[in-house]
């Protein structure tokens, strides 16, 4: 799964990678080092606008009676998107990019008695930001006009780097897949599935970081500084 990630680059770096992206003037992008579920995340929805928006992380299906269900739907498995009631319609119609420049996974300590999992920060070797493949929904409260835009990160099997750390990894879209993913038109699940592959391990790096990342309330640059271990 993917349960924490980062987006700390300056807006100019985002524009280098996504030159078509419109950034909101009213809500400046702040550096984030420990983005956690239920928090706002930077999203580009397939609505034809190519504008950065902020959606709640944790997809709330339109038919849900309680928005709390979203806290259990932060990730969506690529292999079952076309089957799961919470994701199958969004897979065809409501896709998005979730912008990031790194993410965390926790490496198992193995058989060593009393050892704790080690948090690892994973990013591209280039240091450039990238886009997770995501799904989005809009939920409307049944008793008023309140709406919540929410999203989930799609995960897949790990590449050669990640398989040493975790049994899943988020789908990072290759640049040539982004236009297809953001197409507002309804898409065939069979045709989209080919985009949801593990990102090449040769383009990525991973290193151990402080266990302070375990605390969602800690959000500071020290979280992405490499540590021994």
Residues identified as active-site: 2, 105
- Residue 226, exposed/middle/buried by CB under 10 A (0-12, 13-18, 19+)? exposed
Half-sphere exposure of 128 (CA within 13 A, CB side): 12
Round to whole Å and give the CA distance between 38 and 89: 22
d(CA 179, CA 50): 10
β partners of residue 166: none
Our CA angle for 143, 149, 152, nearest 5°, is: 125
- Work out the angle at residue 71's Cα, subtended by the Cα atoms of residues 157 and 201, and round it to the nearest 5 degrees: 20
Q: How many helices (H) and strands (E) does the chain have?
A: 4, 12
């Amino acid at each position: 799964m993917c349960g924490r990630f980062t987006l700390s680059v300056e807006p100019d770096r985002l524009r280098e990678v996504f030159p078509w992206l419109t950034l909101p003037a009213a809500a400046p992008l702040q550096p984030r080092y420990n983005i956690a579920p239920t928090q706002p995340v930077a999203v580009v929805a397939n609505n034809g606008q190519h504008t950065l928006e902020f959606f709640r992380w944790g997809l709330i299906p339109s038919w849900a009676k309680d928005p709390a269900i979203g806290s259990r739907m932060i990730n969506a498995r690529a292999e079952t998107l076309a089957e799961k009631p919470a994701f199958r319609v969004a897979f065809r119609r409501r896709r998005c990019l979730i912008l990031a420049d790194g993410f965390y996974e926790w490496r198992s300590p193995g058989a060593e008695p009393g050892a704790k999992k080690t948090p690892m920060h994973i990013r591209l070797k280039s240091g450039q930001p990238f886009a997770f493949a995501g799904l989005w929904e809009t939920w409307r409260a049944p008793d008023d006009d309140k709406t919540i835009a929410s999203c989930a990160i799609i995960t897949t099997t790990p590449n050669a780097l990640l398989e040493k750390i975790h049994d899943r990894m988020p789908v990072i879209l290759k640049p040539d897949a982004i236009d297809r993913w953001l197409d507002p038109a309804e898409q065939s699940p069979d045709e989209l599935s080919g985009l949801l592959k593990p990102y090449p391990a040769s383009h990525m790096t991973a290193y151990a970081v402080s266990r302070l990342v375990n605390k969602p309330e800690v959000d500071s640059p020290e979280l992405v500084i490499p540590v021994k271990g």
